Amino acid sequence: MAQKKVEQLYEILSKTYLTFKEVENEWEDNGLSSTPFKSLVSVMLSTMTHTKRVIKAANALYAEVSTPQELLHLPDEHLTELIRPVAHYNRKTQHLKEMCRQLLERHGGEVPHTRAELLALQGVGRKCVDIMMNFTFGAPAIAVDTHVFRVLNRVGIVHTESQVVAADEINRLTPDRFKQHAHEWLIQHGGKVCIARKPKCDECPLTQLCDYYQHVGAA
């Protein structure tokens, strides 16, 4: 049942939204993922932070550094100033420094390509790993952020308060043919239609599938 629902969801979303490569992408346009190292740093900066603020911090940072060695040479206070636009900038300063040390010690300064090696880096969580695997290394992985998490729970594909559990479940249920772009469709839907405060169910193509709509939205 859940499997059928997931397939129907993607059939609809894939006809509703373009992929990131087909639309203007401010992340790409600003060079936030021009190298695997910048991709990893940008993703770490993005936790709990709006894209505009990530771009501001990343532009300031990448004007001075583009390698782990260069980032490690920045004094902590200066790094903190550069990334001050993002949430938890003090903690992220420490995480970025330690992550760069680990890249140099364990991987010769290169960003590793496996899930286990990425997850072992300081400050790199499950969502960061899925984003890196999907967008940097082209793997069929679905990253679950707050938008994706909200959509999946409202539609009723998952019933959980854990983004990690939701990520396991949606990656298990999603047919391979949809995995490459699933995150892109779901995040657009969560950002444009199934928004946090009041979902725009009147504009939504998923009403027939959606548990929230059946129980609350249609009332």
Q: How far apart are CA 167 and CA 78, in angstroms?
A: 35
Which residue of the set 145, 179, 192, 200 is catalytic?
145
If you ran DSSP here, which 8-state letter would residue 19 be given? -
Residue number with CB closer to ligand SF4 (133 or 151): 151
Beta carbon nearer to ligand SF4, 135 or 185: 185
Is 145 a known active-site residue? yes
Place of tokens 């790199």: 124
Distance of CA 60 to the CA centre of its chain: 21
What contacts 127, CB < 8 A, 6 or more positions away? Answer: 47, 143, 144, 145, 163, 167
For residue 6, the minimal CB distance to ligand SF4 (Å) is: 13
Binding region for ligand SF4 (CB under 6 A): 151, 154-155, 193-194, 199-201, 204, 206-207, 210, 212-213, 217
As a whole number of angstroms, the distance between CA 101 and CA 109 comes to 8
Report the nearest approach of ligand SF4 to the CB of residue 108 (Å): 45
Residue with smaller CB distance to ligand SF4, 52 or 198: 198
* Tokens of residue 174, six digits: 């999603």
Q: How far is the CB of 148 from ligand SF4 (least distance, A)?
A: 12
Q: Which two tokens stand for residue 146?
A: 């707050």
The least CB distance from residue 58 to ligand SF4, in Å, is 31
If the CB atoms of residues 164 and 218 are measured against ligand SF4, the closer one turns out to be 218
Can you read off the two tokens belonging to residue 159? 């019933």
Instruction: Select which of 38, 92, 127, 130 is catalytic.
Output: 127
Smallest gap from residue 149 Cβ to ligand SF4 (A): 12
Write the single-letter amino acid at 120. Answer: A
* HEC string for 67-136: CHHHHHHCCHHHHHHHCCCCCCHHHHHHHHHHHHHHHHHHHCCCCCCCHHHHHCCCCCCHHHHHHHHHHH
**CB nearer to ligand SF4: pick between 58 and 186:** 186
Annotated catalytic residues are: 127, 145
